[in-house]
Structure 1
Amino acid sequence: MRSVRARAALGATAVVAVALIAAGLAVLLVLRSELSGQADLQAEVAAQEVASQVALGVPYGKWELPDEEENPVQVLTDKGVLVAASKKLEAISGTGSGQVKPAAPGQPPASGDSDDDRDDSDDRSDPDGSDPDRSDSGRSDPGRGEVSRDEPAHSSGTATVDGDTADYRFAAVEATTRAGETVTVYAGAPLATEQGAVATVRSAMLVGLPVLLVVVGGVTWLVTRRALRPVEGIRREMAAITASEDLSRRVPAPGTGDEVDRLAVTTNETLAALESSVERQRRFVADASHELRSPIASLRTQLEVAAAHPELLDLEGAVEDTVRLQDLAADLLLLARLDAGEKPGAARFDLSALVRKELAQRGEGDRHPVSATLGDGLEVTGSRGQLVRVLGNLLDNAQRHAGSSVAVALRGEANGRVVLEVADDGAGVPEAERERIFERFVRLDDARSRDDGGAGLGLAIARDVARRHGGTLTVRQAPGGGAVFTLVLPGP
C-alpha cells in the first residue's frame, strides 16, 4: 500500500483487532471459569447432602435425593458397585462407573443393617422418635459414620435424565457408613447455564467485533487524512516550485505548532537558503563575467593592433592583462573550492616564520614600506597555502589604500589564540561599509581604475579562509586614521 492513510488505518485496525480478540478470549475464559466454579459448588452441595444421609445411617429407601434433572446422583461402593442412583437416570459418563441401575435395588446400603437391627434400633428410639445414637445437633456419631473432609474431586461428563442428555460437572464426596464401609457419592450440576452464557457472549463478540473494527478503521482513515492534508499541500507546492523553478514561492504552513507545521517552516527556510544561494551564484557568475570581460577585451585589442602594426605592440600591457587574468582565474577557482566545502589541512606550523618569509619575498616591490612587530613561536593548525593567500590579500589591500606606510603585528593571547593585524594610514573604511567590503566583487572606490584596484575578491577570500580555519577577520578604524584588519586564529 502506497497510501499512508491506508497503512495507518490498516495498522490501527489490526492492533485493535488483536487487542479485542485477546480481551474477548480472556473474558470468555474468566466467565467460563466462574460459571464452572459455581457448577462445581452446586454439585458439591448436592453430593454433601446425600453423603450426610449415608453417614447418619438413613436407610436406602428413605434417602432424599435432589432434583434428578438438576443434580443426578450416583452412589458407588469402594469396589465400584452401584448401590443407589437417581430414578430417571438413564446414562452417565465422567464418574466412577457408567452403571445407572443399583445392583440390589430396594436393599439397604452397604452398612449390612438387617430388619431386626432396624427394629432394635426402633425399640431404642426415644418416645419422641429421636435416635439416641445421634447427638443433639443431629449429626452422626463420629465413631460410627462420617463424611470425608477432603476436598471433593471434580470432573466433567454427561448424563441422560428422562431422555434428555446434557453436560454436567460432577463432584465426588466420600462417606463412611456406620458399619465402617466407604461409599462415594457422585452428584452433578448442569453446565447449560455456563454454556448458554458463554455462547451469548461469544455471539455478541462475533457480531460486535467486525462493526467495531470498521469504526476504528474509518475513524483512523478520517483522522489520518485530516492530519496529512497539510502535507499534501506542501507536496503540491513543492511540485509546483520544481516545475516553475521559482524559488521565491513558499509552501503553506498550517500554524498548528505540530510536526507538520515544523516541517513546513523548515521547508520554507530551506527554500529561502536555496534561493539566496542561487542568487549569490547568479550574481557571482555575472560579476565574474564582467571582471573577465575587461582584461580579455584589452588583451584582444592589443593582439589585434600588434597583428596589424607590430611596431605598436604594448608588450608590458599584454603581460599585465595576462597576469590579471591568471590571478582572477586563481581567485575564482579558490572560491569555488571553498564553496564546495573544501576543508583546510591539518598541518601545524609556525605562523611567525610564515609572515617573515612573506614579507621578505615582497621586499622592495611594495608601494609603501612595511613595518613588522612579530612574536616568536606562534603556531597554528591549517592550510599553509591558504593562510599565505590571506596574508598576501591583506597586504595588497593595505598597499593600495595606505598613505605612506603599512604595519604588521603578530601576537599571542592568553586564551591560546593568535592575532595578526595589518594596518594602513589611509582613509579607512566607513563604519557602514565594514561588513560590505567582505562581499564578493565589492569595491568602495568606484573612481579607482581597474588596474589600480582588484576585482573585489581578495577580502572575501580572506574571510572565507579565516572562517574555515575556525577564526575571524574584522576591520576597525586605527587610532591615528586608516584601517586595521584583524585576523584571529585558534591555537594548535
Structure 2
Amino acid sequence: MNLLPISRLRLWLQSASLLAVLAGYGVMLGFNQVLSGYERDQAHRQLAEEVASQLSQQTGSRQQLRQLLLARSRAPLLQLRLTPLPAGPAPAGPLRGEPRLVSSGAQSWLVSRVAIPLSSGETVWLQVEQNVSASVRQQQLGSWLLLVAAGLASLITSGLLRLVLWRGLSQPLEVFRVQLSGIEAPPRPGDQLVVADQPEELRPIARAFNALQQRLAASWERQRSFVDGVAHELRTPITLVSGHAQRLLRRHPDPALVPSLRLIQQESARMGTLVADLLDLARQDSGRLRLRCRPIQADDVLLALHERLALGAAGRLRLAGSDASGEPGPPPALADPDRLQQCLTALVDNALLYSPPGSPVTVGAAGAADGRLLLWVRDHGPGVEEAERERIFGRFVRGSAGLRGDQRGSGIGLAVVKLLMEAMGGDVRVVEAPGGGAEFQLRLPALEPALEPGLSPAADPPSA
C-alpha cells in the first residue's frame, strides 16, 4: 500500500492524537504515583498508631518503654526509637507527625513520630521507621510499565490513525483530484462530477465545483461565439480593404500615396492573418476544424515556402543546404500542406520580426532521432528563455523578448501553430539554436511505407 506524503492536516491530526494519548498516560502515571503514596502513608499511619497503642498499654514508665523497644529492635522492616520531646506544651492524645519518605542507599524508609502518653503522666515521642523498599520498587515498576504501555499505545495509535486518515481522507481526496484532473479545458456543460459517488464530506465541494463548471462553460461559450462572430464579420471588410489597396497600387497612383497604400495593404494582411487565427481557434474549440491531409515531401514544402516568402523577407530567408554525408534525407509525412505552410509562415514571420535587421532566417528539414519528420526555423534573435518554452504556446501569451521590444503581436500565432500541429498528429517545440537564437521545430510522424507517394493509401486521409 503506497501511503501518500503526510500533509499538514494529517500531520496536525496525528500529532494531536499522539499528544492526547501521551497526556492520558501522563495523567494515569501521576495519579498512580499519588494513589500509591497515599495508600502507603495511610498504612504507615495505621501501623504507627497500633504500635503506639500497644506500647502505651504495656508500659507505664520511660524505662519500661526503653526495654520493650530494645526487645523489638531485631525486626528488620520496622525500627522504633524514642526522640526528644518537642518544645512547647505537652500534646494531649496520640498525636503523630506526617510520614516522610527517606532514602538510604537502596533502601526506602517511611519515618513518622507518634506521641505516647504513659500511665505515669509523662509523654514521650516515638519515631517509627518502616522499610517500604518493596512498595517503592513495585511503584517504580508500575510506572515503567505505564511508560512502555504509553509508547506502544502511541505507535499503535499512530499506525491505526495513519491508516484511517489514508482510507478516510487521503484516498478520497486523491480520487477526487484525479476526477478533477480528468476534466479538460475548455469547460463543457457535460463535465460534471457525480455528487452521489463522492464521500459525504466532499459532496459540498463537488456541488460547488459543478456550479462553477457550469458558469465557466456558459462564459466560455459566450466568448467562443463572440470570437467566431467577430472574426466572420471582420473577414469581409478586411478582404475588401486589402483588395482595394492592391488595385490602387497596380494603377500607378500618385507616388506620394504609395507608402500609405503599402501600409494599408500590409496592415490589412496582418489583420487577415489574425482573423484567420481566431477562426481556427474557434473551430478547434467547437470541433469544426477540418484538415485535408495527404503525403508530403519536406523539400517540396520548404521550396514552396521560400518562393512565397523570399520577396517579402528582403533576402533574409535562407534554405539550409542538403546533407552531403550520404545519410537518408528527411522522410515523407502525412499532413495538410496548406495548414503546414500556415504554421511555417507564422514561425518565419516571428523569426524575421524578432531577429536583428539583416540577420538571416534559415529553414530546413531532417529526420528526427525517433524517425519523425523534423522541419525547423532558425533565427539569430534573443532566443526564448527556458522557463518560457512551454508557456509561449498558450493563447494570448507573449514571451519576455516580445514584451521588452516594440514589436507588435497578438499572442495567438504560436497557439494556432500548436493546435494545428497536434491536429495533424505532430507537435511543436522551441530549443536554443546553434550559435544563439531560437530554433522552432515542427515534428510530424513519418509516413508508413504503404502510404508513401506513388502508392495508393490504405485509407482516407485523416481529418481533425
Tell me the TM-score range normalised by the shorter chain. 0.3 to 0.5
- Higher alpha-carbon Rg: 1
TM-score between both structures, scaled by the size of structure 1:
0.41
TM-score between both structures, scaled by the size of structure 2:
0.43
